[in-house]
Amino acid sequence: MIAFNVPPYTGKEIKYIEEAVANHKICGDGAFTKKCNEWIEQKTGTPKALLTTSCTHATELAAILADIQPGDEVIMPSYTFVSTADAFVLRGATVVFVDIRPDTMNIDENLIEAAITDKTRAIVPVHYAGVSCEMDKIMEIAKKYNLCVIEDAAQGIMSTYKGKALGTIGDYGCFSFHETKNFSMGEGGAILIQKEDKIEEAEIIREKGTNRAKFFRGQIDKYTWVEKGSSYLPSDMNAAYLYAQLELAEEITADRMATWNMYHEAFEELEQKGLVERPFIPEHCTHNAHMYYLKCKDLEERSSLISYLKENDILAVFHYIPLHSAPAGAKYSRFHGEDKFTTAESERLVRLPLYYGLKKEEVEYIIGKVKEFYLK
């Protein structure tokens, strides 16, 4: 069976975890956490990056920093993972969904302005498949209405928009290092903070409302409870696992990209025959080969393709059920405008296996089976 995903493992993870254990540093903010933070800062150019226990938690932290209050409204796409909405719903906000663009599956930047009310506080663009939303337009709207922009860049590490790293364009950016993402620590994430004057507040909230980070830097004699907060810092053992992968980030990305390009070239024929649609990468965006998907004709065809691949030992999957149609969506959200593409496009999308170390012969086998399904 060809798995849909295998968590990345480069070989050095165990050595680094042993080092963390030998250093007697298995709680948070040890040497490996610092190395990961610095790596992200250097790679993306963000003034501050902090590892968190997940991207969900990074987004929660961003929602607290943005001072989201009960009754506030937050605009995002419905075609996303639950965490994007949860982080704001936990603060008592109402989620307002707008439709996506069918070409990138990202929020349609031209529908955002009409969804703004006097309660709107934030826009949350989700960079689906590591391909950027139209950030110039989104930032222009945010500026005009004085809204906070929190980028869900869970899938977007190593991708850029007009030369800028995803996660560094809005006020806050959130990365995921879940085992299904390009680089992993099992469960984990990071928050990227653009405004210097929000860094200390972020450190405090992440460390249970204490000024412990300042204490560790030797800036104060003892630390104390200074604000409301939670615990969003991961164990240094997890950071050790992640650091081994960040060191090989270029290699991991190149490996994924080779698979992505093989799929993309192979399926051009099917697209030209009008049988499937392939992902679209806008010219001003670079992507990180996070995901390869195809769009079938409809739901029925997608189900048959997934079954056909399964019969041939290939695990292909679909996602997301649009949040506005989920049970919690009915309670905490509303859809502004018409659902022209969110449901229809999500029902025909299928993701093919893509992970670090997927063999060339396996990719060829998968391509062969997809072509067989369409051309037999």
Ligand X SMILES: *Cc1c(COP(=O)(O)O)cnc(C)c1O
Chain residues that interact with ligand X, rule: CB under 6 A: 54-56, 80-81, 83-84, 126, 152, 154-155, 176, 178, 189
Shortest reach from residue 153's CB to ligand X, in Å = 8
Shortest reach from residue 158's CB to ligand X, in Å = 15
Q: Which is nearer to ligand X, 170 or 189 (CB)?
A: 189
Q: Which is nearer to ligand X, 121 or 178 (CB)?
A: 178
Strand partners, 119: none
Shortest reach from residue 167's CB to ligand X, in Å = 12
Shortest reach from residue 175's CB to ligand X, in Å = 8
- How far, CA to CA in Å, does 321 sit from each of 127, 164, 243, 349, 352? 17, 30, 33, 11, 18
Q: Which is nearer to ligand X, 157 or 370 (CB)?
A: 157
Q: Which is nearer to ligand X, 56 or 211 (CB)?
A: 56
Burial class (CB in 10 A: 0-12, 13-18, 19+), 253: buried
Q: How far apart are CA 265 and CA 364, in angstroms?
A: 12
Give me the torsion for CA of 263, 7, 351, 130, rounded to 10°: -80
Dihedral over Cα of 336, 73, 201, 137: its sign: positive
Shortest reach from residue 298's CB to ligand X, in Å = 24
Q: Which is nearer to ligand X, 83 or 343 (CB)?
A: 83
CA angle 71, 75, 110 (to 5 degrees): 145
Largest distance between two CA atoms of the chain? 73
Q: Which is nearer to ligand X, 53 or 160 (CB)?
A: 53
Q: How many helices (H) and strands (E) does the chain have?
A: 14, 13
Shortest reach from residue 223's CB to ligand X, in Å = 27
